[in-house]
Amino acid sequence: MVGTVNAQKVTVFDPRGYPPRITPKPMAPRLDTLDGKTIYLVDPQFDDSGLFLEQLQACFADRMPTVKTRMVKLNSVYHRDDPKTWEEIKANGHAAIIGVGH
């Protein structure tokens, strides 16, 4: 059929989705020193984050023996809040490092 146009409607979706609204929070102030402090190493259970944090913990032990590290895992996956863990860190720690692996 020469000269005939077959018009079809095509629906296209944006593969990027719709990002959630966020409320930015400022970073915590830096500590003057890490000597004698307790640093929490938080495993958000994201790909090899636990392995990375184990290596970081060994590095602290080797190079900064006066720093106490405590490894904790989030109680759920990394994209869900974990208020219980954050309260523990606030009550017992001086700082936290949240690890992301790969």
pLDDT at 24 over 60: yes
The pLDDT tens digits for 38-72 are 999 999 888 888 899 999 999 999 999 999 999 99
pLDDT in the model for residue 72: 96
8 vs 6 pLDDT, higher one: 8
Question: 9: which residues sit within 8 A by CB, 6+ positions away?
Answer: none
- The answer, yes or no, to whether residue 3 has pLDDT greater than 70, is no
